[in-house]
Amino acid sequence: MTEKRLAIIGGTGFASVGNLKVIREHSVDTPFGSCSSVLKTVELEGVEVIILFRHGSPHRIPPHKVNYLANIWALHEVGITHVIGVTAVGGISRTASPKKIIIPDQIIDYTYDRKHTFFEQDPQQVTHIDFTEPFCRELREVLLLMAAETGLDVLAGATYGVTQGPRLETAAEIRRMARDGCDVVGMTAMPEASLAREMGICYAVCSLSINWAAGCGSSKEMINLAEMEKTIEQEMVAVRQLLGASVRHLHLTS
């Protein structure tokens, strides 16, 4: 078995190491500019894991301004083989209600104007990656297995529609996304997932639904940002627990 080297990309609601012990910190220079944060090596469940904060620490970089190329390049540069991206999403399907943890298995990309490939510099190297399954099956299975073991009720499989942001969507946009087959909406899984695939990194997402997407709530009211924050604060504990169990499992099966 080859050694797995693990990283977590923390998203909204995951912008600090919390009470994890930081072993070391390093900044990596990349040909694409600066990463969102320094790479912090922490000890999680006795395993060394790198954490990178997608929106900076503290949170300051909006989804459309994240330097996804630098982030993935830096993780690859330091030898990371497996990445779990943590993302907050809005629920479109009834099964993706607020507070639910979701392990998506598909993506529809609605983003634009984001640098999204490592393969545009070199005209000699036209490379098409297979993206039939955008998330790494091995890593999704570990997340699902550990959710079952820790008694967490997660949604196993969902189509993640990725929007450009930073504004939230209109109700009509969400109705269109529902017709397209999206179960959840978020702003950050792309191009993170495809860049990780280009670099040969096994990448999966652990999403937390923090609101009903526009027009999906029962009273059709506007999205309440204070409620979203409250949900994040309460439910990130479960996400961190799932990450810890998954990291330990991945390490033991290295």
Nearest Cα to Cα of residue 94 among 106, 102, 84, 82: 102
Asked if 147 contacts 157 with a C-beta cutoff of 8 angstroms, the reply is: no
Task: Rank residues 146 and 208 by Cβ distance to ligand HPA and give the closer one.
Answer: 208
Asked if 51 contacts 110 with a C-beta cutoff of 8 angstroms, the reply is: no
**Phi and psi at residue 112, in whole multiples of 5°?**
-145, 160
Query: CB of 168: closest distance to ligand HPA in angstroms?
Result: 5
Q: Please, which of residues 86-115 interact with ligand HPA by CB under 6 A?
A: 88-90
Q: Of the candidates 139, 147, 210, 242, which one interacts with ligand HPA according to CB under 6 A?
A: 210
Residue of minimal Cβ distance to ligand HPA: 90
> Does the footprint of ligand HPA cover residue 187 (CB under 6 A)?
yes
**Cα end-to-end span (Å), the chain:** 6
> Does the footprint of ligand HPA cover residue 163 (CB under 6 A)?
yes
What number of CA atoms fall less than 13 Å from residue 245's CA on the CB side?
Answer: 18
Q: Helices 137-149 and 225-252: crossing angle, nearest 10°?
A: 100
What number of CA atoms fall less than 13 Å from residue 56's CA on the CB side?
Answer: 10
Q: Find the part of the chain contacting ligand HPA (CB under 6 A) among 109-117, 151-159, 181-189, 232-240.
A: 181-189
Task: Rank residues 44 and 86 by Cβ distance to ligand HPA and give the closer one.
Answer: 86
Q: Of the candidates 13, 186, 191, 215, which one interacts with ligand HPA according to CB under 6 A?
A: 186
> Does the footprint of ligand HPA cover residue 183 (CB under 6 A)?
no
Q: Find the part of the chain contacting ligand HPA (CB under 6 A) among 39-47, 53-61, 85-93, 123-131.
A: 85-93
Q: Of the candidates 39, 147, 185, 247, which one interacts with ligand HPA according to CB under 6 A?
A: 185
Query: CB of 137: closest distance to ligand HPA in angstroms?
Result: 25
Which token pair is 127? Answer: 């490379």
Strand partners, 26: 39
What SS3 class is residue 240? helix
Residues that bind ligand HPA (CB under 6 A): 88-90, 163, 168-169, 185-187, 210-211, 213
